[in-house]
Structure formats: structure tokens, C-alpha cells
């Protein structure tokens, strides 16, 4: 058996191995192809191949005459892309293109190559230095961006009105926006679009360009290089001058972009259409509001007309009702006159149901009363009774009529009497109340009993006065009367008031009574005290006349007992004026007539001692 037969007859068996989860990232040409198809469509299949073919197809110009015309000392003004043979590619050239172009230039224009071919080389100003400088600028991303910012072949103009009319808005401005889109810091620059572009897209386009952020900078145009400064201060000054120049150029650049966007916005037919649509919408909304106002006005006019018509109809109905009522009253009056005449004729034909001449006169008056009192139906019924019953029915009705008239007269008299009493009561209330000293004392007591802060204070005070005074029902205190009197007492001078005069007279009378009482009840102890305190005059025990007269003149106020009213006023005043009140006892004494500050303080101490004694007695009893 050969080796091939053995391999064909063998079966490979895999042994089970424990699987491990691993995070794998898709890479490689196959995944790149799949990703391009998914994200960019089938055209992306050939993107890599096309880029390679494009790289192979790119050719680089070799303008020897232009190279020989260059001055190495003036390298800054040369076209670096033209030097490397990429005049047409320019900013579209890739880094690989720049390297290949430089490699070709080196292989062909290196001084050693040309010298080997017998060409004379000028070492001081050979143009190969310009090739090296061009690669130095374009091969460095920062320096290349600086050079691209001032590319001399870039069109920095804006379309003229003639160009816009000739080429049309979209064709003219699309070119300029595509040129300036290269300066954008943001990728995915929105395009101009066409006349079918939706409003959102157009507004997004102009919003982007009005907030355009450009990476373009103008450091390539610096007049002096910072590195050439002799010292740090000079280098700083050069850098400052360069920054000022760059800022000025940047400002001019942004103004140019803004002018381009403003020009496009003012000439964009879509913007004009949108503005017209907005204007039409506003006009439509305004017209709708006007129509609504007109409709509301018309509705109000219609309602007013309907209300006016309804009012006229109601007035006509009211007039008709009044006319019908008037006609009905006239008819009733006519019927009443007719029935009265029939009743009078009936009574006259029966000689007024009288037996003598005296009754005739009285019955004639009764007939008139009955005519005035009864209505049509009552007269008809009464005449039927008269025809059947005669004199008896007449006399009975006359009696009932007199009783009815008497009841009405009595009710009218009672009503008038009640009204007279009411008028009398009101007139009595209008008469001002004369305040007597007792009333004033009662008012002071009530004011102290019900201090400020009491709910409905003056009504309570008025009720207190009415309860503790003797008044008729027609004359009682009101809250207004009490308040006016309290204000009058507060504003008046108490030292000159009649109240103080009356209080002094009362105090003097009380003093006279107590003096007589003391003179009649002198005991032996008091006599001995007087004898011991007196001085001897001419060997006899006799008090001085001056001391005796002084004792006679001084009233014993401190020994005078406190009345119940004074005690209540004192308690209320102590509650009203707390300990923190300045001049407390003066204010308390003002609230109690006929009592001084000293009397009030002494009475308060007595009460305190009395309370303490009661507490001690209670403790001892326990």
C-alpha cells in the first residue's frame, strides 16, 4: 500500500477542547472590502484599486526653464507646487505624491547628476536649493497649511452682479462656495443645493456659513522671521508685529466670507420665496384674525338685534297686558256701577227696608257703605239674598259691614300707634346722653376691666354700662357714645375737670365723717400716746397748738378702707400695667380715683402679706 492510498483511507478525528471566549477585532483586506460595501456601496470596491491606479497615473511636470529662472534667495515668492511639478494638483496632492515628485526631481536635478552630465553647476545660486525648499515647505503639514492659506492661485473674489445674471444664482455661487469650503475647520460642509432643496436644508446651509470657522492663517506672509531676532526682546517684538498683521488679514478674510454669504442670501431665490411664504402666512393669519373680529362683531350685532327685537316684543306684550288690564278694570268698574245702581234701585223700591223715617236715613247711609265695601260678585249674591230674605238679610249685612269697618279702623289705629312709638324711640336715641359723675366712674371702671385687645371692646364696654345703669329702653349707651366719651376723657385736662372737683368734694365729705367717728371713739391708749408725746408748757401737760391744729387738718386717708369698686379697679390696673411698665404705680393710681400712688403701693403690700399668710396657714394645716 502506497503512502497516497494510506492518506486516502485515513480519517482525521478532532478531539474536543474547552473553548475560550476571545475578543477579536475584524481586520484585513476582506473586512475592509465588506466595510466599504456596507458604508459606501459597491463603488467602494474599486476605491483602493482606483487610488493605486491613480497614483500610478499621476505624472509630474518638469519645467526646466521655470526651475532655472528661480532665485534661491527669493524662495518665498516661488510656486512650490510648480517647482515639484504639481502645479495642477496643488492642495489635492497627497503626502505620497509630494514624496514621489521630490524623489523624481532629486534623481534628475541633483547637482552631482547634472555635473556628471557635463553641466556647469553654480554652487551659490543653484536652483536645486529651491527644490529642497519647496519639499521642506510642502513636506511639513504645518508649513504646507501656512502656504496653502496664501496660495496665489486661489480665487478670493466674490461674484459680481453681472456674473450672477449671466450664469444664474446656483451655478455662480456653487463654484465660490466650493472654493471656500476648503478653509472650513469642520468636515461635511453643506452644499448650496438647488431650487428643490427643502427649507431646513437651506437654513442649515446659511447657518453654517454665517458661523463659518476657517483654519486659514497668514503666517507665511510674515515680513520677518522670529528666529532672526538678535535677542529675546527683539524676537518678542517681531512676534507681536507678526500677530498684529495676521489678525488684520484674518479679519479681512472673515469679512470677505461674510460678504459672500450676505450676497448669496440676498440673491437666493429660495430665500425670497420663503420670505414671501412667511409674509403670505402672516397676511393670512392677519386676515383670519380680521375675519374672526368681523364675525364676532356680526354675531354681537345679531345678538343686539335679537335682544332689541325681544325687548320690543316684551314691551309690546307688556303694553298689551296693561291695556287688557285697563280694559278689564274699566269693565269691572262698569259692571260695579251697574250692580251698584241695581242695588240702590232695589233698596229704594223696598224703601230701604226701613219701618220708619229714622231707619230710612240710616239705611240709606248703610247702602252707600255696602256699595263701597262689596265687589260685583258680592253685590250680586247680596241682591239674591235680599230678594229671598228681605229686611233680615239687609240688617245682617249692615251689621257685618259695620263690624268690618270697625276692625279695619282699629287695626289702622294700632299700626299708627306702633309707628308713633318707634318714632319716639328713635328721637330719644338721637338725644345725646348727659354723662353724670356716676356714669363716668362706671365708664372708667369698664375701660380698666376690658383693656385694649379685647374682642369688640367698645361694644362690650357699652353693654357693661347698660347692664349696670338704670335706663329706659329708649335711651341706652352705644359703642360710639362710649368711644367718644373715652376719647374726651383722654384728651381733657383732668386737673380742671368737674370729675376731679366732684371727687374732691366726695373725699372731703368722707374725711369729715371719719373725723367725727375718730373723735367719738378715742380710747385710753391713744390719749396716753398723745400725753407722752406732748411737751409740758408752764408745768402742765399740754400739746402745742400748732401740732394739734396739724393733726386736726390731716385726714386719715391711709386708715380709710378700700371699697369693692376700688379693689376691682386696683386688680385690673395691676393686670393692665405689668412690672416692666415705666412709672407703673403712677399709671395705676391714675386709674383709681381718690387714691394716691402711696395708697396703691400700701394696699398691694397688704394683699401680698395676706396671700403669704393664707399659704402659711394652709401649709401648717397639712
Helices 269-349 and 357-373 pack at an angle, to 10 degrees, of 170
Decide if pLDDT at 214 tops 80: yes
Q: Work out the number of other CB atoms within 10 angstroms of the CB of residue 239.
A: 15
Q: What is the tens place of the pLDDT at every residue in 144-197?
A: 998 888 888 888 888 998 998 998 999 999 999 999 999 899 888 998 888 899
Q: For the CA atoms of the chain, what is the radius of gyration?
A: 66
**pLDDT of 89-114, one tens digit each?**
888 889 999 999 999 989 988 888 88
If one counts every other C-beta atom within 10 angstroms of the C-beta of residue 175, the result is 15
pTM of the full structure: 0.43
Question: Which residues, listed in sequence order, are joined to residue 416 by a DSSP beta bridge?
Answer: none
Per residue in 477-509, pLDDT (tens digit) is 788 888 888 888 877 654 445 555 555 565 556
Name the nearest CA neighbour of 190 among 167, 172, 212. Answer: 212
Interval 534-543: pLDDT, tens: 433 333 334 3
Three-state DSSP state, 541: strand
Specify the DSSP element, H or E, that contains 274.
Answer: helix 269-349
Rounded to whole angstroms, the Cα distance separating 596 from 563 reads 15
Q: Are 70 and 83 in contact (CB under 8 A)?
A: yes
**Structural domains present in the chain:** 50-268 (no CATH), 269-431 (no CATH), 432-492 (1.10.10.60), 566-622 (1.10.10.60)
Does the structure show a pLDDT above 90 at 518?
Answer: no
pLDDT 10s digits, 462-471: 888 888 776 5
Amino acid at each position: 500500500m502506497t503512502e497516497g492510498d494510506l492518506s486516502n483511507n485515513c480519517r482525521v478525528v478532532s478531539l474536543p477542547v474547552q473553548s475560550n471566549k476571545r475578543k477579536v477585532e475584524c481586520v484585513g483586506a476582506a473586512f475592509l472590502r465588506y466595510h466599504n460595501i456596507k458604508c459606501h456601496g459597491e463603488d467602494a470596491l474599486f476605491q483602493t484599486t482606483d487610488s493605486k491606479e491613480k497614483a500610478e497615473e499621476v505624472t509630474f511636470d518638469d519645467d526646466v526653464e521655470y526651475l532655472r529662472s528661480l532665485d534661491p534667495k527669493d524662495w518665498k515668492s516661488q510656486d512650490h507646487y510648480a517647482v515639484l511639478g504639481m502645479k495642477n494638483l496643488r492642495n489635492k496632492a497627497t503626502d505620497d505624491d509630494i514624496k514621489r515628485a521630490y524623489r523624481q526631481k532629486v534623481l534628475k536635478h541633483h547637482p552631482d547628476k547634472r555635473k556628471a552630465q557635463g553641466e556647469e553647476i553654480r554652487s551659490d545660486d543653484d536652483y536645486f536649493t529651491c527644490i529642497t525648499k519647496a519639499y521642506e515647505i510642502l513636506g511639513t503639514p504645518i508649513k504646507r497649511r501656512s502656504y496653502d492659506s496664501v496660495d496665489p492661485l486661489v480665487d478670493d473674489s466674490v461674484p459680481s452682479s453681472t456674473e450672477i445674471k449671466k450664469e444664474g444664482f446656483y451655478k455662480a455661487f456653487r463654484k465660490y462656495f466650493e472654493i471656500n469650503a476648503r478653509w472650513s475647520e469642520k468636515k461635511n460642509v453643506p452644499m448650496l443645493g438647488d431650487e428643490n432643496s427643502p427649507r431646513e436644508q437651506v437654513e442649515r446651509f446659511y447657518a453654517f456659513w454665517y458661523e463659518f470657522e476657517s483654519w486659514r492663517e497668514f503666517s507665511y506672509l510674515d515680513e520677518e522671521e522670529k528666529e532672526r531676532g538678535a535677542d529675546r526682546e527683539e524676537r518678542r517684538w517681531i512676534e507681536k508685529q507678526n500677530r498684529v498683521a495676521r489678525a488684520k488679514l484674518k479679519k479681512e478674510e472673515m469679512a470677505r466670507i461674510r460678504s459672500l454669504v450676505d450676497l448669496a442670501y440676498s440673491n437666493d431665490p429660495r430665500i425670497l420665496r420663503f420670505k414671501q411664504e412667511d409674509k403670505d402666512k402672516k397676511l393670512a393669519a392677519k386676515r383670519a384674525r380680521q375675519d374672526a373680529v368681523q364675525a364676532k362683531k356680526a354675531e354681537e350685532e345679531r345678538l343686539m338685534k335679537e335682544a332689541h327685537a325681544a325687548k320690543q316684543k316684551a314691551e309690546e306684550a307688556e303694553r298689551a297686558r296693561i291695556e287688557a288690564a285697563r280694559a278689564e278694570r274699566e269693565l269691572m268698574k262698569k259692571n260695579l256701577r251697574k250692580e251698584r245702581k241695581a242695588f240702590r234701585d232695589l233698596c229704594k223700591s223696598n224703601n230701604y227696608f226701613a219701618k220708619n223715617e229714622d231707619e230710612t236715613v240710616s239705611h240709606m247711609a248703610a247702602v252707600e257703605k255696602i256699595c263701597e265695601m262689596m265687589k260685583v260678585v258680592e253685590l250680586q249674591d247680596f241682591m239674591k239674598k235680599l230678594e229671598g230674605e228681605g229686611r233680615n238679610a239687609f240688617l245682617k249685612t249692615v251689621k257685618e259691614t259695620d263690624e268690618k269697618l270697625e276692625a279695619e279702623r282699629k287695626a289702622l289705629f294700632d299700626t299708627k300707634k306702633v309707628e308713633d312709638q318707634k318714632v319716639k324711640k328713635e328721637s330719644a336715641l338721637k338725644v345725646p346722653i348727659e354723662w353724670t359723675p356716676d356714669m363716668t366712674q362706671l365708664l372708667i371702671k369698664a375701660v380698666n376691666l376690658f383693656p385694649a385687645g379685647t374682642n369688640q371692646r367698645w361694644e362690650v364696654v357699652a353693654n357693661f354700662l347698660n347692664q349696670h345703669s338704670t335706663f329706659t329702653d329708649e335711651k341706652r349707651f352705644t359703642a360710639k357714645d362710649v368711644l367718644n366719651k373715652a376719647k374726651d376723657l383722654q384728651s381733657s385736662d383732668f386737673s380742671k375737670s368737674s370729675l376731679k372737683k366732684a371727687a374732691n368734694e366726695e373725699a372731703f365729705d368722707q374725711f369729715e365723717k371719719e373725723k367725727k367717728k375718730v373723735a367719738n371713739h378715742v380710747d385710753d391708749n391713744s390719749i396716753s400716746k398723745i400725753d407722752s408725746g406732748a411737751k409740758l408748757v408752764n408745768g402742765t401737760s399740754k400739746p402745742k397748738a400748732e401740732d394739734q391744729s396739724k393733726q386736726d387738718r390731716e385726714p386719715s386717708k391711709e386708715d380709710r378702707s378700700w371699697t369693692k369698686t376700688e379693689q376691682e379697679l386696683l386688680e385690673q390696673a395691676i393686670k393692665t400695667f405689668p412690672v416692666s411698665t415705666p412709672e407703673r404705680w403712677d399709671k395705676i393710681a391714675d386709674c383709681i380715683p381718690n387714691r394716691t400712688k402711696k395708697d396703691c403701693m400700701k394696699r398691694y403690700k397688704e394683699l401680698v402679706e395676706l396671700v403669704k399668710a393664707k399659704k402659711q396657714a394652709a401649709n401648717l394645716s397639712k
